[in-house]
Structure 1
């Protein structure tokens, strides 16, 4: 039977982005005063719009938008009220870095599965717009990111892994700068080892970013000969931007005199766009003069450098949509499976599917209707995480209270939250009681999962000095009830889930390689501790990839035939330095059979998706869930951070 129902999940940071593309007109001589720039919003103000490129000096714009429930490529023409969706790959749920040259659309898509797991699906494609014909430019088995077309359209440069597999890097990707001809993509040449986000100036100069030896992200330059040949000749890059400032995602002006970059500087918490003069070796501020307290990303010049574009948070008072919907309906690769992005963490369905419990920013406990049109705050200003709704009591939710990702000795407790479920029908507030089920001296107890019959709670505890699984009475806890240790060993067993029929328990564990605390795999066990087995997903036991899988947040399908989980099996879809708030820019949702077969990917994007829940969905009311007509949600504030691994304390 094919998987059916509704999956709710979280995407780290994404609901808060509120990105639109903006532009500023530049003076004919960029050396002139840049303090009187006029900024214009070019995109709709309602979706997430990013990674644009200008086609001309009329600000005709191609860009990525998520307005349809997945990342698609659009074209805005001056004076047109509605953007045009460009022909790409209809079955793809992720497109990125579009560029149009002479009627050719070059872009990234991730719809073709590589031959092995733990390898990115990212590849470059070309669509002839008039013919609506798409071909793959990246050779099969190769991974390419961030394409850039030279001025004449003759050459394409990419950041490429080549045929190598992903090693697990998720800060700075270990890619090379590769050049190939648009008319013959089989002829490829590595022009520089170690680099990303290439951009052309003319047909012979390339700029790209990478982290320099002194720890600062910097822009480098390669000059190719006028009669460039695909030989074994190597080229030595020159560092362009100085130490003491992070500079990344470059774009070159038409005359090769300037590059626009995103920067991070000491004493400034925000990423800004600046123009770097290649002759005077000096920076000129742009966006800090306009919006000092917003992050700005991925700049791009128009073909004759009359305009400079970038994307940023659109602002709280911007025209358009300033609301974060409680629930977003996302595109799904499977016809009978609905995908809902929740504006909160650790969603858990009530048994009837009418409500979803979640943790907003890991502070407090909230309940939302499954149509997204109403929300109740149960608790706030206290750390709650990981929820499990009782299968037999509509007014009972189990959760963890205390710091997340803490040591085994930290005080984290399992709580039973009780409230009157009729209040969800006739009141705006919910009054609830907290009953702590674990003892304070027992240390770190987290990730509760209620048994289908409502009698027991399964959870992870560090009370023995190791994080293993335990089962307690769902009402009396361990003080007045029984507690039983389910797993035992010097490793981490965590994030358990009970099958709806009560026959199996799934959890994530490092027991196959206890020394690697970042490498988790899925295990199944019966509630009495028998029939423990590992679910092999990355590859067979003994393969070179099997111990590199990182698989978490596992749960069962309503019919107990499938497992749903987050995994790093598809590597990275986009260069992480170009994104905000991506601590682990991998973590897509997958499903598989209980034996690991029929592995299917459910989400494709550059974000980190996680903490999924699966409901049968037959009785859920989703008819009123519409991103276009319903503006019910929280105020959009654009509060997100730079990745923690981009530090200015060097």
Structure 2
């Protein structure tokens, strides 16, 4: 180990914002950004929240690690409220409880965060937890704490933890054999208004996961909170259930090219008729029911393509839809931050406020395609618009090659001879097999002279790689 050499790896990632996600809420009648309320302490990535009802919070405050933080009188007076959410502050995606103390300033909260597993002494191993929600005396959630049985198969299971005793039990069916048809994994638990029923999106009827990425093949099952669970399927082909009443479930599914939110009446068991709440021709997902006829959803009203400079309707926003047709959709986040993506709405104070998570900043400075020079002294990369090549070294950070517009340059790589100071890049539309795409050399790259030389003939050429003897 004494001769071990260590270095650095540069990379970029997709589907994860470069700035932390955090949780906010807004009233239904939004007038300005000042109406938006920050719901956490601002540390780490925080998302997927649900409000903790007053009765449940009073039980949580009896736990030894919480008893000094407040009491029932604080809850009844409105001085203290709480929510359960996912945070990555302990290098795992696990549930946390935020105690929210009201300040004199109505637009701010003093927040103190506790790990759910620390408060209730549940699990302490490697795991992920999500979708926390309250069912009477229980916190219901999904976790991967159980042992994985099969490679490339989900093993998420729904559990409940008693808020008084911390007794924890599994609600998802256990696998009883190694047969594919017996693989059961549940997602997105949601509790009915009475607290007596739990809806989940489940792979149960599909024999597990079959490689799908965005459109997961799940059905919605309903079970009782207390045994006997009486688990039964109520909606075929649906995900992300949310209860409008004890007989009404909102959910999302993909139909054709677009995601939509639907409403189903399950009073007679399995639903066979579905009412589409959101219009076709736009994406709508992750419903949060306010009541049996009103639901908050995340929408993308106009699809975008890779390389687009997005307009406001191409961002993900929170809207409220009325299924009776008496009210037009109500925009929530479009009026606050039109050029930011907002996710996974949740209901506060019976619908007086709507919560969601978003990036902390809408002015994201993202870099892609990093490449080190052979001696490690220089780092080159492309901006997120695929418009300019940048170099960072001991002289600072600067643009060394500009193009006329976005989606014009990508995939830089250094010549293996550091004395030559040459970068090779792709110039032309990215990831488009039908357009002309050239490999170009940028001589004296770190000097930023802005010159380049085309190295390839008329064709589609991409992703250059230089050999060690390229001198």
Q: TM-score, normalised by structure 1?
A: 0.53
Q: How many angstroms apart in 2 are the aligned matches of 1:108 and 1:221?
A: 24
Q: Report the secondary structure of 2:17's partner residue.
A: helix
Give CA-to-partner distance per residue, 1:303-333, whole Å, 9 cap, x none: 64443212234455xxxxx776xxxxxxxxx
1:367 equivalenced with 2:412 (yes/no) = no
1:251 equivalenced with 2:288 (yes/no) = yes
Q: How many angstroms apart in 2 are the aligned matches of 1:46 and 1:432?
A: 42
User: How much has 1:275 moved relative to structure 2?
Assistant: 2.8
The answer to whether the 8 A contact 2:426-2:437 is kept is no
Q: How many angstroms apart in 2 are the aligned matches of 1:448 and 1:110?
A: 41
Q: Equivalent residues in 2 for 1:530-541 (5 A)?
A: none
Structure with greater helix percent? 2
Question: Could you list the runs of 5+ residues in structure 1 that have no partner in the other structure?
Answer: 27-33, 226-232, 317-321, 325-342, 421-429, 456-473, 476-650
The answer to whether the 8 A contact 2:135-2:196 is kept is no
User: How much has 1:208 moved relative to structure 2?
Assistant: 1.0
| Total equivalences in the alignment | 405
Equivalent of residue 146 in structure 1, options 182, 188, 192: 188
Q: How many angstroms apart in 1 are the aligned matches of 2:208 and 2:438?
A: 39
Q: Equivalent residues in 2 for 1:339-418 (5 A)?
A: 343-351=366-374, 353=376, 355-361=378-384, 362-368=386-392, 375-381=397-403, 383-393=408-418, 395-407=421-433, 410-415=436-441, 417-418=443-444
Give CA-to-partner distance per residue, 1:384-403, whole Å, 9 cap, x none: 32243455527444433332
- Residue 87 of structure 2 corresponds to 65
Give CA-to-partner distance per residue, 1:150-176, whole Å, 9 cap, x none: 234333212222253434434433221
Equivalent of residue 141 in structure 2, options 100, 103, 107: 107
User: How much has 1:177 moved relative to structure 2?
Assistant: 0.7
Give CA-to-partner distance per residue, 1:310-359, whole Å, 9 cap, x none: 2234455xxxxx776xxxxxxxxxxxxxxxxxx42222334455554322
Q: How many angstroms apart in 1 are the aligned matches of 2:434 and 2:31?
A: 56
The answer to whether the 8 A contact 1:9-1:346 is kept is yes
Q: Which has the higher contact order (CA 8 A, sep 6+)?
A: 1
Q: How many angstroms apart in 2 are the aligned matches of 1:417 and 1:137?
A: 63
- Residue 332 of structure 1 corresponds to none
- Residue 628 of structure 1 corresponds to none
Q: How many angstroms apart in 2 are the aligned matches of 1:374 and 1:15?
A: 25
Q: How many angstroms apart in 2 are the aligned matches of 1:400 and 1:369?
A: 22
Q: How many angstroms apart in 2 are the aligned matches of 1:149 and 1:235?
A: 18
Question: Could you list the runs of 5+ residues in structure 2 that have no partner in the other structure?
Answer: 55-77, 102-109, 176-182, 303-311
Q: Equivalent residues in 2 for 1:183-332 (5 A)?
A: 183=226, 188-212=231-255, 217-224=260-267, 234-241=270-277, 243-244=279-280, 246-253=283-290, 256-265=292-301, 268-287=313-332, 288-302=334-348, 304-315=350-361
Q: How many angstroms apart in 2 are the aligned matches of 1:122 and 1:305?
A: 30
Q: How many angstroms apart in 2 are the aligned matches of 1:60 and 1:68?
A: 20
User: How much has 1:93 moved relative to structure 2?
Assistant: 6.6
- Residue 77 of structure 1 corresponds to 99
Q: Report the secondary structure of 1:50's partner residue.
A: strand
Query: Using a 3 Å threshold, how does the CA distance of structure 1 residues 182 and 418 change in structure 2: closer, same or farther?
Result: farther
Query: Using a 3 Å threshold, how does the CA distance of structure 1 residues 289 and 376 change in structure 2: closer, same or farther?
Result: closer
1:439 equivalenced with 2:463 (yes/no) = no
- Residue 449 of structure 1 corresponds to 465
Q: Report the secondary structure of 1:194's partner residue.
A: coil
The answer to whether the 8 A contact 1:364-1:380 is kept is yes
The answer to whether the 8 A contact 1:210-1:220 is kept is no
The worse-fitting range, judged by mean Cα deviation, of 399-408 and 85-94 is: 85-94
User: How much has 1:198 moved relative to structure 2?
Assistant: 0.1
Q: TM-score, normalised by structure 2?
A: 0.70
The answer to whether the 8 A contact 1:402-1:413 is kept is no
